[in-house]
Structure 1
């Protein structure tokens, strides 16, 4: 799916009441914010890319921040929430795993493919989450309601089997997630031009996490 195709799909799924000009502004804003970041983008640039006058943007949104918060941020939240639930909880947490290694491998590949497909809009989320409660709070709630308990249950299961050392599940969850994120962010954000062997990297990632959690030396 190309960038324009998934943006069109996103807009159609999110708000069917938008005018054609609003849709063009939204598409241009997502594209520009993703490419240059919020601080590095200008409303004149967004307007030019959308094919509208800059005044058209300000008739709908008083400032550039208002554009981010009123359109892009809610769109990201509404877009990512159902996808997060569907592709993360359903495809990852509703399966049974023989070993914690199997679970780690599935979760790493699942998140890798999710980011690969939706990176432009997720890049905005990564760039702006620290600065806007409106963007951060829905994901905190989403994680608490749909991910935390399922993740914790899996960890406790493999602790009972003796595969994972006796640390608080929250600590193991944080260590596992941060290791996966620590691969995905450089993969797409810092060094996207590098030739990555994702299967090999995931194998090494899983081995690294397991070595730290197994208690073996």
Structure 2
């Protein structure tokens, strides 16, 4: 396959895709999207991703956008490696959790980080509600989710990192309150593919279990 190109910003949703790419060992290149200067709204970028969001993955068959869609596309290139194949008995359960992450956990995090976009009149109230909902979501994961599939892990791990760093005061969040998720984060971040992705974005040696602000070699998180 021809090389892929990931349009990314440091410590953004594109991190989920970079992690998956490292696990596939597929060749890929990256292009920084300068979010600090609204690079995601440039006409050239909108031609690839009309939603003006990050990430976008350029493929030999055209661009793919939306984090969950990109992850599934990558899984289809390596059937059974990152995610159950189409005819696998556990495919349905795996899809359920993947779409729950995409449709429930990820949007709740967005309301934590950018409440003014969703409720301009009372952003602090929405942020408070988002913290409560995130804790509920993590309670569910702690009780029910098993880290069986790489694709789910690549999506979830960054979302366990971000509440400790972004979205106003972060004292409310401590991943160790969810011991199974904390253990997952420790095991996952020790994997070679994960270490490569973390190094590429300046995330440090404990990016998910004990996160620190990113110090990327290019761009900056925002």
Given the two structures, how large is their TM-score scaled by the length of structure 2?
Answer: 0.29
Structure whose residues are more often strand by fraction: 2
Mark the structure with the bigger radius of gyration.
1
Given the two structures, how large is their TM-score scaled by the length of structure 1?
Answer: 0.30
